[in-house]
Amino acid sequence: MIQKAKMILEKDFKVSEVDNRIYGSFVEHLGRAVYGGVYEPGHPQADENGFRQDVIEMVKELQVPLVRYPGGNFVSGYNWEDGVGPIEQRPRRLELAWRTTETNEIGTNEFMKWAQLVNAEVNMAVNLGTRGIDSARNLVEYCNHPGGSHYSDLRISHGVKDPYKIKTWCLGNEMDGPWQIGHKTAAEYGRIAQEAAKVMKWVDPTIELVACGSSHRNMPSFADWEATVLDHTYDHVEFISLHQYYGNRDNEISNYLALSLEMDDFIKSVISIADYIKAKKRGKKNINLSFDEWNVWYHSREQDKLIEPWSIAPPQLEDIYNFEDALLVGCMLITLLKHADRVKIACLAQLVNVIAPIMTEENGTAWKQTIFYPYMHTSVFGRGVSLNPIISSPKYDSKDFTDVPYLESTAVYNEEHETLTIFAVNRHLEEGLDLTVDIRNFDSYEVVEHIVLENNGNLKQTNSAQGTPVAPHTNGNAKAENGSVAAVLPKLSWNVIRLAKRRKSIRFHDL
Ligand code: AHR
């Protein structure tokens, strides 16, 4: 028997305006993300800078507004000065985070040029592992100061006259993790983050700063870490970061698809810690959340153990995503939207070749992973106001979760363009979900299209350079009538129901 679910959408039930930066992504000097992904001189599609134009086109399709750079674990051992100035004079370094050799062929200025080509802002991370306050404030000066000082003039001498005005900056990366170069206790990190933040803002008071939260929710120091770090940095930062990766290691799909409930809980916990510190400080400002690493990551873990140490740009973290991964990514995107009032930055980790929606073949094609689609749909159609839907859905229990709704859904209203977009996942393994959405005060809205990503019976289906069997179609059956939308969401499917206000046709006698 087909299951039924209901949803009510009201223009005035708002979570918040969506900050477009929640559709951000991440490019780290890791594996083939930069070398072989973004940059492959000699490739038939390379432009005069060596940037692959096929990759640029796909990044533009995703409309990525923000890219975190240059790491990740990489940044904790990185000397940014190695990556600027004449390329032939740049040093080769042993890159200790990923045990590779970094050639430094691409550095700050090359990456900023690429970011401009894809219309993205950069979320720049500074090294608080092996470096500290001095190199952080110098990098801000190099990037953002107009001129007339040592580092701003150095940038100008490197051919970049105008400052980049980079707005968002990360104060290091995952400093709570023992694997991190320069790992610190919460108190040690809190102090250095506070002092680095202070002087970075003395150089450029317009910047926004992200302090490192926990590397994931199961870190033993989680919660105490956030409280201690924010106790030190509350007056100096705008954001605390969250990182989380999931995998279906036990091959239990019902449990796997429920992991976005854990993500939801993680977000709520970090909000409550940030608010506790605000209360303790009798503060006025909210610390917002930067979920600046999130994705599925588990397929490539074994293969990565075989990498030859100190190779240049080896294939690392090249997860090949399947259909079920795309559904979880869809659920995670919906979860981020539901918290649009506090999650103002999020970065799908990563963008090209490394746990990425876009893959490239050396000297060959670029292709789209399964997760490309939910990411693209939300980024393109999910701009406007995140609505707070009232949902009633049948539920199930899984190994680790109780009361998991079969329907995971939310909606974004764009007042300017008079569009309403419903994003929905049906978690049911065997049955379609008969969805009715009461759209009450969305008068004269009609369905533009109902996009569906559904499965052909093989949940492990992947895409490849040879073809994309996992790709959406627009044959969903959503219909709008008398203030409500009716649709059947196929079993295990990702759905995008796009509505727009009917345009009145202008008749001759109205003119
Ligand atoms: O995104 C891959 C790695 O995951 C990042 O370098 C690190 O921050 C995290 O552990």
Q: How many angstroms is it from 2 CA to the middle of ligand 1?
A: 41
Residues enclosing ligand 1, CB less than 6 A? 28, 71-73, 173-174, 215, 293, 349-350
Q: How many angstroms is it from 99 CA to the middle of ligand 1?
A: 14
C-alpha torsion 217→221→227→229, nearest 10: -100
Q: How many residues does the chain have?
A: 511
| Three-state SS letters, 335-354 | HHHHCCCCEEEEEEECCECC
What does pLDDT average to over the chain? 96
Q: In angstroms, what CA-CA distances link 290 with 68, 166, 226? A: 11, 16, 13
Query: Could you give the angle at the alpha carbon of 11 between the alpha carbons of 339 and 447, nearest 5°?
Result: 100
Which residue owns the Cα nearest ligand 1 atom 9?
72
Indicate the range of 51-60, 274-283, 450-459 predicted with least confidence: 450-459
Residue 128 has pLDDT above 60, yes or no: yes
Q: Average the pLDDT over 405-428 and give the result.
A: 98
Residue 129 pairs in a beta bridge with: none
Which residue owns the Cα nearest ligand 1 atom 6?
72
Task: Return the pLDDT at 102.
Answer: 98
Q: Which of 35, 39, 74, 42 is nearest to 56 (CA)?
A: 39
Phi, psi of 339 (to 5 degrees): -110, 30
Residue 506 has pLDDT above 90, yes or no: no
3-state DSSP: the chain helix, strand, coil percent, rounded to 5? Answer: 30, 25, 45
Residue 422 has pLDDT above 90, yes or no: yes
Task: Return the pLDDT at 457.
Answer: 87
Task: Return the pLDDT at 239.
Answer: 98
The pLDDT-based confidence of 511 (bands split at 50, 70, 90) is very low
Rounded Cα distance between 366 and 38, Å, is 11
Residues involved in catalysis: 174, 293
The pLDDT-based confidence of 507 (bands split at 50, 70, 90) is low
Q: Average the pLDDT over 401-420 and give the result.
A: 97
The pLDDT-based confidence of 509 (bands split at 50, 70, 90) is low
Task: Return the pLDDT at 456.
Answer: 79
Which residue owns the Cα nearest ligand 1 atom 5?
72
Mutating to test ligand 1, I would choose from 30, 68, 69, 73 the residue with most ligand atoms within 8 A of its C-beta, which is 73
Rounded Cα distance between 366 and 150, Å, is 41
Residue 1 has pLDDT above 80, yes or no: no
Place of tokens 């004449």: 86
The pLDDT-based confidence of 510 (bands split at 50, 70, 90) is very low
Task: Return the pLDDT at 503.
Answer: 79
Query: pTM for the complete prediction?
Result: 0.97
Looking at the chain, the whole-number percentage of residues with pLDDT higher than 70 is 98
Task: Return the pLDDT at 419.
Answer: 97
Residue 508 has pLDDT above 70, yes or no: no
The pLDDT-based confidence of 505 (bands split at 50, 70, 90) is low
Q: Average the pLDDT over 224-228 and give the result.
A: 98
In ligand 1, which atom is closest to the CA atom of 349? 1
The pLDDT-based confidence of 2 (bands split at 50, 70, 90) is confident
Q: Average the pLDDT over 76-91 and give the result.
A: 98
